[in-house]
Amino acid sequence: MGFTSRAGGNGATTTTTTTQGRSFVTQSRQQNEAMQPAVSSAPVEIEAMDGQRMTVTFDDVRNFICKEATIAECRIFLETCKQYHLNPFTKECYLIHYDTKNSDSASTIVLGKTCYMKMAEAHPQYDGFEAGVIVMDEAAGELIHREGSIVYQGETLVGGWAKTYRKDRSRPFYEEVNFSEYDAKKSLWVTKPATMIRKVALVHTLREAFPATFGGLIDESEVPVDVEAGFRELSAEEAAAAGTVPPRRRIQKPKKEEPAPLAVEADEVEGDPFANAGTGGDEQ
């Protein structure tokens, strides 16, 4: 916002511009949260894919998953976990705040390592996939599409490719992705670049093959930050309070039964030539 003021005497004009600082934006954001109905922050009951049931509060999300999350983001995150049967405490789903310098930017829901495949395999029309890497053979000057995620010496990793099949489609969903577009140069992108770019390609085809299931979700291999940076593991007491793990039951092992003494008939003793062994020799 800007305004113009006139100085007296010489008629000079001075223009002063005032901008809304971050403190004002943050204050407005907090006021908007306070004005939301109390019911919007009610705990959410979630049943995970493994059958575990838990009740998760907004404070749980802020304490263990994403401390910068707003009330609206907590609600959307928990409802997403509920809809897709994801356990937010076992790294199946993350709420990521990308911009660490600006707490007012939005957070993003990111799926964990195996959730895409678990959810795809649960779909009745899923019919498998193929995936691999694209490498450049420097000596031969040849571009190679290889299944798997191995890159040999003398080759340069260029990208990844994948095909996802549906039982009700005549053609597979195919995708190629460029390594340079996704290389975050940190975390697993440094130690396992071929594995990561292969997974990005696979996730792309799964999203195209099953838009109703994966349309608004992002995989951890697609984000340029460490998804576990803001994640905190629950202690045993906290996990039990949330209901994420069943109470431990003490399992008593059955007592080892001693074999019953061998019953020997009298006539067997009389006819046994070793019956008197150890008694000092044969009786005369």
- The distance in angstroms from the start CA to the end CA of the chain is 128
3-state secondary structure of 72: helix
Q: What is the rounded CA–CA span in Å between residue 207 and residue 116?
A: 9
Inter-residue contact 46 to 52 (CB < 8 Å): no
49 to each of 90, 124, 206, 275, how far by Cα in Å? 12, 16, 19, 67
Report the DSSP beta bridge partners of residue 44.
56
pLDDT of residue 17: 39
85: its two tokens: 């049967």
188, pLDDT greater than 50 = yes
Greater confidence, 42 or 127? 127
Q: Tens digits of per-residue pLDDT, 148-165?
A: 999 999 999 999 999 999
Q: 115: Cβ–Cβ under 8 A, 6 or more apart, which residues?
A: 84, 86, 92, 93
Query: Residues in the chain, how many?
Result: 284
Q: Tens digits of per-residue pLDDT, 120-137?
A: 998 999 999 999 999 999
Helix H or strand E segment including 241 = helix 236-242
Q: 120: Cβ–Cβ under 8 A, 6 or more apart, which residues?
A: 126, 129, 164, 206, 209, 210, 213
216 closest CA partner among 109, 124, 121, 122? 109
Report the DSSP beta bridge partners of residue 143.
136
77 to each of 38, 94, 267, how far by Cα in Å? 17, 8, 82
pTM reported for the whole predicted model: 0.60
What is the mean pLDDT of the segment spanning 182-206? 92
What is the mean pLDDT of the segment spanning 64-72? 87
Phi/psi for 17 (5° steps) reads -110, 130
* Band (213; pLDDT cuts 50, 70, 90): confident
* Band (94; pLDDT cuts 50, 70, 90): confident
pLDDT of residue 96: 83
